[in-house]
Structure 1
Amino acid sequence: MHQFTVALKVDVDTYAGTRDGVPRLLEIMEKAGVKATYYFSMGPDNSGKALRRVFTRKGFLQKMLRTGAPGAYGVRTMLYGTLLPAPRIASSFPHILKETSAQGHETGVHCWDHVDWHDYLPRYDEKKVAATLGRATELFREIVGEPVKSVAAPGWTVSARSLAFQDSLALDYCSDSRGHSPFYPLFEGRRYNTLQIPTTWPTLDEILGTGGITAENVNDFYLSRLLPGLNVHTIHAEMEGGVLSASFVDLLKKLQERGVRFATLREVAAEHRATAPEAPLSMGEIPGRAGLVAVQG
């Protein structure tokens, strides 16, 4: 019986992250004998439009500079949708989605347009939610050859309308939130039926450059956060599959030395679906992240 379980959730936000980061992560995980759950952005890469957050979200510029985002994401990515056309992500690399599934990893939908969902979801009416998420799930089915079973919202951003539409898809579970354990969400006075598996550890971009944490010592921080039971770690194809891949390789090695059991989120859902409690879910602030995220009460 394993004392510690770590579920790796991979958010794939960009064109470059899909093209370069995912294959690198697949290589790393194959060598380590680890399976994960990958969430793919399906539509256009409008990453350049995220720069408007400099003017609308307190702490966004500081975070970008603290984490070295320009170097991690690349200049072209930071111009997509503004000075450069927004390339289509999943339709440009269907073979990468298929290969991820073929290697035994779980795959799901992150979004259609990452930046638009993250920044404007509160303004989406029911039709807009259904259109954008429906478009993403349809393309996923066309490429992967099976219906979507899980969704993970960009930036952990939810609304009553998005949660309701996810319920209508009859998903196995979602991973839209930050918290401590699987639960059924109570959001704005309503109980939703889709199990939430929250991310329990901070992401790299939330902690790098804070409290003396660097790429060289960040894994000491993560090991200090390893708790008995379930730990859910969200990584990004653009970070751990890019300039910080060496840190990720080291993290997997150190976790394996601790005797950690690795699981996909599908496996976690199967283990917790029948016993997970209801818990409040609300949009709130967490350290290291600019803007609001869905937080388990």
Structure 2
Amino acid sequence: MAHIVLKIDVDTLRGTREGVPNLIRLLESAHARATFLFSLGPDHTGWALKRLFRRGFLKKVTRTSIIEHYGFKTLMYGTLLPGPDIGIRAVNAMRAVAKEGHETGIHTWDHVYWQDNVRMSDAVWTKRQMKNAYTRYIEIFDTSPVTHGAAGWQMNAHAFRQIDRWDMKYASDGRGNAPHYPIVDGQRLNHVQIPTTLPTVDELIGINGLDADGVLEYLLTLTINVEKDHVFTLHAELEGQKLAPLFSKLLTGWTDQGYSLVAMEDYYSTLDLKKLPAHSMVWGRINGRAGELILEGATPTL
């Protein structure tokens, strides 16, 4: 049976408190399991407004109704309002995920700060941000995190190597076609990258007039070949709130197509690690998303 890995990015306080419980209910109804990746420190979502000057971002804001999905108050965090500490204010919602049997992992410490700065940051900056998230995760869950999924698919070489130092067996930090070992600065690392393979809802909605029903139909068309595994990234702020009906229909559609809906750890356990290729990590663009992000590159000869 082919798999669709459900990877849930949780970016904000509102998404953690409101979107996460909704997603737990939807997953339970579909008998599905998922990986929830948490932002564990301050919510500075308002800092993202400076991206209005980035190519493609204003267009994305317009077509995805960002104010409606995130809420006006959330968009003021870090500007007119102080950024609340998500790991303190929403600890019960996070623990409920583990209690319900879903996998949990690290998304980031400060979502916007990481996404806007990590690419050009040094080892000291990167280690500090990742250590903050790692320490807070242990405080919340009383165990070490087993996986990582970068905010905005933004990474640097130091961050990839830190995942190895944490002895994580797998992570999902970029976009691509299939699981692989990452090559960074010419070195093959030890952990497996499980990249997001499907476009996200916010990359599709509003493109060529696609509404929620159009996005549903398009995604189900992409997964009609049930011999291929996929990784789908969703957001607690979107599919956990206004777009919950769309996600519910996606779960039903994928089940009807014959997929097993699983968490990252479930999928990792099925992989033949000795047969996985190694791919370089490169920067590139994805349709519907502003700026560059980490992609699975060509397979080099080592």
The alignment's TM-score, normalised by the length of structure 2, stands at 0.95
**What are the equivalent positions in structure 2 for 1:100-249 lying under 5 Å apart?**
100-226=97-223, 227=225, 228-249=227-248
SS at match of 2:145: coil
After the TM superposition, which residues 37-116 of structure 1 pair with which residues of structure 2 at under 5 Å, given as runs? 37-55=35-53, 57-116=54-113
Q: CA deviation at 1:190?
A: 2.6
SS of the equivalent of 1:235 reads: strand
User: Which letter does structure 1 place at the counterpart of 2:259?
Assistant: V
Task: Indicate conservation of the 8 Å contact 2:184/2:281, yes or no.
Answer: yes
CA-to-partner distance for each residue in 1:193-249, whole Å, 9 max, x for gaps?
221000000011111111231112211111111142211000000000011001111
Q: Which whole-Å CA distance do the structure 2 matches of 1:216 and 1:290 have between them?
A: 23
Give the partner amino acid of 2:109. W
Q: How far apart, CA to CA, are the structure 2 residues paired with 1:191 and 1:58?
A: 33
1:22 lines up with 2:15 in the alignment: no
Cα distance in 2, alignment partners of residues 110 and 51 from structure 1:
20
CA contact (8 A) 1:284 1:293 kept: yes
Q: Tell me, in whole angstroms, the C-alpha distance in 1 between the residues paired with 2:246 and 2:204.
A: 14
Q: Deviations over 1:143-182 (max 9, x none)?
A: 1111011010000011111111111111121100100100
User: In 1, are the aligned partners of 2:180 and 2:276 still within 8 Å (CA)?
Assistant: yes
Deviation at 1:97, TM superposition (A): 1.4
Residue 7 of structure 1 aligns to a residue whose secondary structure is: strand
Name segments (4+ residues, structure 1) moved above 4 Å. Answer: none
Residue of structure 2 equivalent to 1:280: 280
Compute the displacement of 1:263 (Å): 1.5
Secondary structure of 1:8 counterpart? strand
Q: Which moved more, 1:210-219 or 1:131-140?
A: 210-219
Cα distance between partner residues in 2 of 1:142 and 1:214: 41
SS at structure 1 position matched to 2:177: coil
Consecutive unaligned residues in structure 1, runs of 5 or more: none
